[in-house]
Amino acid sequence: MTFPDSKFASVADYAVAYFDQAKAAAQSVDQEKLEAALTCLDAAYERGGTIYACGNGGSAAISNHLACDHSKGGQTDTDLKPKVVSLSTNMEIITAIANDISFDDIFVYQLRTLAEDGDVLLTISSSGDSENVVRAARWAKEKGLDVIAFTGFDGGRSAKLATVNLHVEGDNYGVVEDTHQSLMHILAQYIRLKRMDDGTIQERKF
């Protein structure tokens, strides 16, 4: 059975059901793997590595948002200088690669150009099976880079390739993407929070 599997009498009824699904999805995230993802990101930031993020559609928006919140947010009131790049943001290079080579290579081509030892790839894919995301994850794994994969549905190939798989149990794209967005915010805010002075925390908005 999927959500939704029938019509609803009102948008209010649908909202209640949707939020119930969102709560269940959030609670499905493995807390130990969340800690592992934090450790992976923390270590990369400390050693000066770059985090590369990628995704398609709504996941591309989360990838771009991640670059903002982890880079700008991560260094606000801290001693960090996080290096974060979204591979989903440069439309000129994305369309050039897609047109001249293959859409399936839009992320891995950029990784081959930019990535170095000690960097981390963070993939965002509800299905976990988008070919361009899978190719990037496979290349990163082969090169010894850690891969953090945000997935939903059955996890797809990304889940199997990941060093850390943050999996969301859900089969509704909106619910899964909402949870991925929350995970992005949680990691960004916690990385900042743990490096701030106690007094400063109370003076700031997150």
pLDDT tens for 83-93 read 999 999 999 99
Which pLDDT tens digit goes with each residue over 24-60?
999 999 999 999 999 999 999 999 999 999 999 999 9
CA distance 188 to 149: 16
**202 falls within a domain:** no
Q: Which helix (H) or strand (E) holds 90?
A: none
Closest C-alpha to 206, from 82, 39, 81, 69: 69
Structural domains in the chain (count):
1
Task: Note whether 69 and 86 are within 8 A (CB).
Answer: no
Residue with tokens 């934090």, as numbered in its chain: 38
Q: What is the CATH number of the domain that holds 88?
A: 3.40.50.10490
**3 falls within a domain:** no
Total-model pTM: 0.95
**47 falls within a domain:** yes
**pLDDT for 199:** 85
**76 falls within a domain:** yes
Q: Determine the structural domain holding residue 105 and report its residue range.
A: 30-195
**138 falls within a domain:** yes
